[in-house]
Amino acid sequence: MNTSEDLHTLTGAYALHALGEDERAAFRRHLEHCASCTQEVEEFSATAARLGLAVADTPRSVLRGQVLHRITAVRQEPPGSAGPAPARWAGALRRRRISQWALAACVAGAAALGGVAVWQHDQAEQARTQAQQAEQRVAGISAVLTAPDARTTTARLEDGARGTVVVSRSRNQAVFVATGMNRPPSGKVYQLWLNDHGTMRPAGLMNPDRTSEAVLLRGDVVAASGMGITVEPAGGSQQPTSAPIAQMAFPA
Protein backbone atom coordinates (compact mmCIF):
# COMPACT_ATOMS: atom_id res chain seq x y z
CA MET A 1 0.00 0.00 0.00
CA ASN A 2 1.85 3.06 -1.24
CA THR A 3 -0.79 5.47 -2.47
CA SER A 4 -2.61 7.96 -0.28
CA GLU A 5 -5.94 6.56 -1.51
CA ASP A 6 -4.96 3.09 -0.27
CA LEU A 7 -3.83 4.43 3.10
CA HIS A 8 -7.20 6.12 3.67
CA THR A 9 -8.81 2.65 3.83
CA LEU A 10 -6.63 1.41 6.71
CA THR A 11 -8.09 3.40 9.61
CA GLY A 12 -10.07 0.47 11.09
CA ALA A 13 -7.25 -2.05 10.71
CA TYR A 14 -4.76 0.39 12.27
CA ALA A 15 -7.03 1.01 15.27
CA LEU A 16 -7.33 -2.75 15.86
CA HIS A 17 -3.54 -3.35 15.45
CA ALA A 18 -4.20 -5.54 12.41
CA LEU A 19 -1.49 -4.11 10.14
CA GLY A 20 1.96 -5.46 9.47
CA GLU A 21 5.00 -3.50 10.55
CA ASP A 22 5.61 -1.87 7.15
CA GLU A 23 1.97 -0.87 6.63
CA ARG A 24 1.70 0.38 10.19
CA ALA A 25 4.79 2.56 9.81
CA ALA A 26 3.56 3.95 6.49
CA PHE A 27 0.13 4.67 7.95
CA ARG A 28 1.62 6.36 11.02
CA ARG A 29 3.49 8.73 8.69
CA HIS A 30 0.27 9.30 6.76
CA LEU A 31 -1.55 10.31 9.97
CA GLU A 32 0.86 13.21 10.47
CA HIS A 33 -0.66 14.93 7.42
CA CYS A 34 -4.26 13.61 7.33
CA ALA A 35 -6.74 15.10 9.81
CA SER A 36 -9.71 13.02 8.59
CA CYS A 37 -7.89 9.72 9.08
CA THR A 38 -6.67 10.86 12.49
CA GLN A 39 -10.24 11.52 13.56
CA GLU A 40 -11.44 8.17 12.21
CA VAL A 41 -8.67 6.32 14.04
CA GLU A 42 -9.61 8.03 17.31
CA GLU A 43 -13.27 7.07 16.84
CA PHE A 44 -12.43 3.50 15.85
CA SER A 45 -10.10 3.13 18.83
CA ALA A 46 -12.80 4.36 21.21
CA THR A 47 -15.33 2.02 19.62
CA ALA A 48 -13.00 -0.98 19.82
CA ALA A 49 -12.32 -0.28 23.49
CA ARG A 50 -16.05 -0.36 24.18
CA LEU A 51 -16.54 -3.72 22.49
CA GLY A 52 -15.23 -5.53 25.56
CA LEU A 53 -18.22 -4.20 27.46
CA ALA A 54 -20.53 -5.59 24.83
CA VAL A 55 -19.53 -9.22 25.35
CA ALA A 56 -18.73 -9.29 29.07
CA ASP A 57 -21.00 -11.60 31.08
CA THR A 58 -20.90 -12.48 34.78
CA PRO A 59 -21.47 -16.25 35.36
CA ARG A 60 -24.18 -17.29 37.79
CA SER A 61 -22.88 -19.01 40.96
CA VAL A 62 -25.39 -21.87 41.09
CA LEU A 63 -23.15 -24.92 41.41
CA ARG A 64 -21.94 -24.14 44.93
CA GLY A 65 -25.48 -23.87 46.27
CA GLN A 66 -26.56 -27.12 44.62
CA VAL A 67 -23.56 -29.04 45.93
CA LEU A 68 -24.12 -27.75 49.45
CA HIS A 69 -27.78 -28.74 49.23
CA ARG A 70 -26.82 -32.26 48.16
CA ILE A 71 -24.40 -32.55 51.08
CA THR A 72 -27.17 -31.83 53.57
CA ALA A 73 -29.24 -34.69 52.08
CA VAL A 74 -26.55 -37.33 52.79
CA ARG A 75 -26.64 -38.76 56.32
CA GLN A 76 -23.26 -38.48 58.01
CA GLU A 77 -24.01 -40.13 61.40
CA PRO A 78 -25.69 -43.52 62.00
CA PRO A 79 -29.00 -43.66 63.89
CA GLY A 80 -28.95 -44.67 67.59
CA SER A 81 -29.20 -48.34 68.49
CA ALA A 82 -32.50 -49.65 69.94
CA GLY A 83 -30.66 -51.60 72.62
CA PRO A 84 -27.50 -53.56 73.39
CA ALA A 85 -26.96 -56.56 71.12
CA PRO A 86 -25.74 -59.90 72.39
CA ALA A 87 -21.96 -60.00 72.58
CA ARG A 88 -21.62 -62.74 69.94
CA TRP A 89 -23.68 -60.70 67.50
CA ALA A 90 -22.11 -57.29 68.22
CA GLY A 91 -19.24 -57.58 65.74
CA ALA A 92 -21.39 -58.94 62.91
CA LEU A 93 -24.15 -56.39 63.53
CA ARG A 94 -21.65 -53.55 63.65
CA ARG A 95 -20.05 -54.70 60.39
CA ARG A 96 -23.49 -55.05 58.78
CA ARG A 97 -24.48 -51.55 59.86
CA ILE A 98 -21.21 -50.10 58.63
CA SER A 99 -21.78 -51.81 55.28
CA GLN A 100 -25.34 -50.48 55.10
CA TRP A 101 -24.24 -46.95 55.99
CA ALA A 102 -21.42 -47.13 53.46
CA LEU A 103 -23.81 -48.40 50.79
CA ALA A 104 -26.34 -45.67 51.62
CA ALA A 105 -23.62 -43.03 51.52
CA CYS A 106 -22.37 -44.35 48.18
CA VAL A 107 -25.87 -44.38 46.71
CA ALA A 108 -26.59 -40.87 47.99
CA GLY A 109 -23.20 -39.67 46.80
CA ALA A 110 -23.73 -41.23 43.39
CA ALA A 111 -27.15 -39.62 43.13
CA ALA A 112 -25.71 -36.26 44.13
CA LEU A 113 -22.81 -36.53 41.72
CA GLY A 114 -25.15 -37.75 39.01
CA GLY A 115 -27.41 -34.75 39.51
CA VAL A 116 -24.44 -32.40 39.48
CA ALA A 117 -23.04 -34.14 36.39
CA VAL A 118 -26.33 -33.69 34.51
CA TRP A 119 -26.52 -30.06 35.62
CA GLN A 120 -22.89 -29.50 34.62
CA HIS A 121 -23.55 -31.06 31.19
CA ASP A 122 -26.57 -28.82 30.63
CA GLN A 123 -24.64 -25.78 31.79
CA ALA A 124 -21.68 -26.71 29.59
CA GLU A 125 -23.92 -27.05 26.53
CA GLN A 126 -25.58 -23.75 27.30
CA ALA A 127 -22.22 -22.05 27.88
CA ARG A 128 -20.87 -23.53 24.63
CA THR A 129 -23.85 -22.22 22.68
CA GLN A 130 -23.53 -18.79 24.28
CA ALA A 131 -19.79 -18.73 23.56
CA GLN A 132 -20.38 -19.61 19.90
CA GLN A 133 -23.02 -16.90 19.57
CA ALA A 134 -20.74 -14.36 21.25
CA GLU A 135 -17.86 -15.39 18.99
CA GLN A 136 -20.01 -14.98 15.88
CA ARG A 137 -21.27 -11.60 17.11
CA VAL A 138 -17.76 -10.32 17.82
CA ALA A 139 -16.50 -11.67 14.48
CA GLY A 140 -19.29 -9.86 12.65
CA ILE A 141 -18.61 -6.63 14.51
CA SER A 142 -14.86 -6.86 13.91
CA ALA A 143 -15.41 -7.52 10.20
CA VAL A 144 -17.35 -4.27 9.89
CA LEU A 145 -14.79 -2.26 11.89
CA THR A 146 -11.88 -3.51 9.79
CA ALA A 147 -13.62 -3.27 6.41
CA PRO A 148 -11.58 -1.11 3.98
CA ASP A 149 -14.57 1.17 3.35
CA ALA A 150 -15.73 1.43 6.99
CA ARG A 151 -16.92 4.92 7.87
CA THR A 152 -17.92 6.13 11.32
CA THR A 153 -19.90 8.91 12.95
CA THR A 154 -20.44 9.68 16.63
CA ALA A 155 -23.19 11.62 18.38
CA ARG A 156 -24.28 12.48 21.91
CA LEU A 157 -27.51 10.83 22.98
CA GLU A 158 -29.86 11.86 25.79
CA ASP A 159 -28.66 12.04 29.41
CA GLY A 160 -25.00 12.18 28.44
CA ALA A 161 -24.92 8.84 26.60
CA ARG A 162 -22.82 8.48 23.47
CA GLY A 163 -23.52 6.55 20.27
CA THR A 164 -21.19 5.56 17.44
CA VAL A 165 -22.27 3.96 14.17
CA VAL A 166 -19.80 2.30 11.82
CA VAL A 167 -20.99 1.51 8.28
CA SER A 168 -19.43 -0.73 5.64
CA ARG A 169 -21.36 -0.45 2.41
CA SER A 170 -19.27 -3.13 0.71
CA ARG A 171 -20.41 -5.58 3.42
CA ASN A 172 -23.89 -4.04 3.56
CA GLN A 173 -23.59 -3.98 7.35
CA ALA A 174 -23.42 -1.50 10.21
CA VAL A 175 -22.49 -1.62 13.89
CA PHE A 176 -23.98 0.61 16.58
CA VAL A 177 -22.04 1.12 19.82
CA ALA A 178 -23.67 2.87 22.77
CA THR A 179 -22.05 3.84 26.08
CA GLY A 180 -23.51 5.32 29.23
CA MET A 181 -27.17 4.76 28.39
CA ASN A 182 -29.78 4.66 31.16
CA ARG A 183 -31.54 1.37 31.66
CA PRO A 184 -34.97 1.33 29.99
CA PRO A 185 -38.10 1.23 32.19
CA SER A 186 -39.19 -2.16 33.52
CA GLY A 187 -40.75 -4.27 30.75
CA LYS A 188 -39.21 -2.08 28.05
CA VAL A 189 -36.24 -2.39 25.71
CA TYR A 190 -34.22 -0.13 23.42
CA GLN A 191 -34.95 -1.07 19.81
CA LEU A 192 -32.78 -0.08 16.87
CA TRP A 193 -34.21 0.84 13.49
CA LEU A 194 -32.86 1.40 9.98
CA ASN A 195 -34.22 4.62 8.51
CA ASP A 196 -35.16 4.29 4.84
CA HIS A 197 -35.60 8.02 4.26
CA GLY A 198 -38.45 8.20 6.76
CA THR A 199 -39.60 4.55 6.80
CA MET A 200 -38.31 2.61 9.81
CA ARG A 201 -37.27 -1.05 9.64
CA PRO A 202 -36.49 -3.20 12.75
CA ALA A 203 -32.73 -3.69 13.07
CA GLY A 204 -32.25 -5.32 16.47
CA LEU A 205 -32.68 -4.98 20.22
CA MET A 206 -30.28 -3.85 22.91
CA ASN A 207 -29.82 -5.81 26.13
CA PRO A 208 -31.95 -4.01 28.76
CA ASP A 209 -29.47 -5.02 31.48
CA ARG A 210 -26.54 -3.23 29.84
CA THR A 211 -25.78 0.46 29.66
CA SER A 212 -22.99 -0.07 27.11
CA GLU A 213 -23.25 -2.43 24.17
CA ALA A 214 -22.29 -3.02 20.54
CA VAL A 215 -24.98 -4.32 18.16
CA LEU A 216 -24.58 -5.57 14.61
CA LEU A 217 -27.59 -4.05 12.88
CA ARG A 218 -29.90 -6.45 11.07
CA GLY A 219 -31.07 -5.69 7.54
CA ASP A 220 -30.08 -3.99 4.30
CA VAL A 221 -27.82 -1.04 5.14
CA VAL A 222 -27.13 0.26 1.63
CA ALA A 223 -30.75 1.34 1.18
CA ALA A 224 -30.84 3.16 4.54
CA SER A 225 -30.02 6.80 5.16
CA GLY A 226 -29.52 6.38 8.90
CA MET A 227 -30.78 4.72 12.07
CA GLY A 228 -32.95 5.49 15.08
CA ILE A 229 -33.56 4.28 18.64
CA THR A 230 -36.93 3.95 20.36
CA VAL A 231 -38.19 2.51 23.63
CA GLU A 232 -40.43 -0.49 22.94
CA PRO A 233 -42.18 -3.27 24.90
CA ALA A 234 -39.94 -6.22 25.78
CA GLY A 235 -39.47 -8.37 22.69
CA GLY A 236 -39.63 -5.40 20.33
CA SER A 237 -42.17 -4.10 17.85
CA GLN A 238 -42.68 -4.31 14.10
CA GLN A 239 -43.26 -0.55 13.94
CA PRO A 240 -42.11 2.18 16.37
CA THR A 241 -44.63 2.80 19.13
CA SER A 242 -42.81 5.81 20.59
CA ALA A 243 -40.94 8.85 19.37
CA PRO A 244 -37.22 8.23 18.69
CA ILE A 245 -34.91 9.06 21.57
CA ALA A 246 -32.12 9.44 19.02
CA GLN A 247 -31.60 9.48 15.26
CA MET A 248 -28.25 9.32 13.45
CA ALA A 249 -27.48 9.78 9.78
CA PHE A 250 -25.10 7.26 8.24
CA PRO A 251 -21.68 8.61 7.25
CA ALA A 252 -21.29 9.31 3.55
Contacts of 74 (CB under 8 A, 6+ apart): 105, 108, 109, 112
pLDDT number for residue 204: 93
Nearest to 245 by CA among 154, 184, 196: 184
- Average pLDDT (10-24) is 76
pTM higher than 0.75 for the full model?
Answer: no
Beta-carbon-side half-sphere exposure of residue 227 (alpha carbons within 13 Å): 35
Whole-angstrom distance, CA of residue 194 vs CA of residue 247: 10
Q: Quick one: DSSP state of residue 85?
A: P
CB 164 within 8 A of CB 43: yes
Measure CA of the first residue to CA of the last residue in the chain; give whole Å: 24
- Average pLDDT (42-51) is 66
Give me the residues paired with residue 202 across strands. 193
pLDDT tens-place string over residues 226-238: 999 999 999 999 9
Tell me the pLDDT band of 31, cut-offs 50, 70 and 90: confident
pLDDT number for residue 89: 46
